[in-house]
Amino acid sequence: MESTGRRKSSTGTSTPKKTTEWLIGRKIKIKTASNEEIQGRIYTYDRMTNSIASTQHTTRKGLGFRIIKISHIKEVLSNEEMNNNDTTNYLPINYVQVERLNQRELNGVKHMRQRVAKMGVGVTKEAQDIFDALSKTLPCRWSNDTIVVLDEVLIQAPYGIENCKANASSAASLARVKKVLEGERRRLEKSKK
């Protein structure tokens, strides 16, 4: 999206503009490579990613942003000219709540670690399906390829009720896990048919 506009150089001659930064703050209408037409105001241009961020009014809380790679822009259909002295087209930069962003990042990392902890390493799809089904009703975790339920009952491959083991003091938990496991295995067998 190289500019076809011209700007005056210090010698007074007209030279072609080399970047898209002159578009910042202007309202534009563009057509993308997929023939989608987008209208908005250019908020910023990022040289690293060769992208522009365009603001657009949304039905939710006011403004939304759309990031578009320059290479995906087929043509600029129109743009609003702006006087050199006119800075009213620029959007104010609002305060960024870094603490809130940091908290969102921490929550995202925590959630991803929880998801990873529930994925068995080197186990079959059937074993993972059994784990997922059990973990809906009972607290479960993996210990290598063994499912640990309620931190008392171990279920080893091939993950049948005969593969459940627990200490004598955990007999009630063992009976409960076997009952749930039997029901889940039946349900999984029905879903395969």
Q: What is the average pLDDT score of the chain?
A: 80
Question: What per-residue confidence (pLDDT) applies to 43?
Answer: 84
Claim to verify: residue 125 and residue 180 sit in the same structural domain: yes
| Mean pLDDT lowest among 13-27, 83-97, 123-137, 174-188 | 83-97
94 located within any domain: no
Q: How far apart are CA 108 and CA 118, in angstroms?
A: 16
Claim to verify: residue 133 and residue 74 sit in the same structural domain: no
Question: What per-residue confidence (pLDDT) applies to 146?
Answer: 94
Question: What per-residue confidence (pLDDT) applies to 189?
Answer: 86
Number of domains in the chain: 2
Q: Which of 25, 48, 79 is the last residue of a domain?
A: 79
111 located within any domain: no
Burial degree of 100 (CB within 10 A; 0-12, 13-18, 19+): exposed
144 located within any domain: yes
CATH code, domain with 12: 2.30.30.100
95 located within any domain: no
pTM exceeding the 0.85 threshold for the entire prediction: no
87 located within any domain: no
Q: Which of 56, 79, 102 is the last residue of a domain?
A: 79
Q: What angle do CA 103, 104, 108 make, to 5 degrees?
A: 115
Q: How far apart are CA 152 and CA 154, in angstroms?
A: 7
The mean pLDDT value for 49-58 works out to 82
106 located within any domain: no
Claim to verify: residue 61 and residue 122 sit in the same structural domain: no
Query: What is the domain range of residue 171?
Result: 118-192
Claim to verify: residue 74 and residue 134 sit in the same structural domain: no
Q: What is the pLDDT of residues 97-145, one digit of tens each?
A: 889 999 999 999 999 998 888 888 889 999 999 999 999 999 999 998 9
The mean pLDDT value for 158-163 works out to 92
Question: What per-residue confidence (pLDDT) applies to 75?
Answer: 87
69 located within any domain: yes
More confident of the two residues 78 and 151: 151
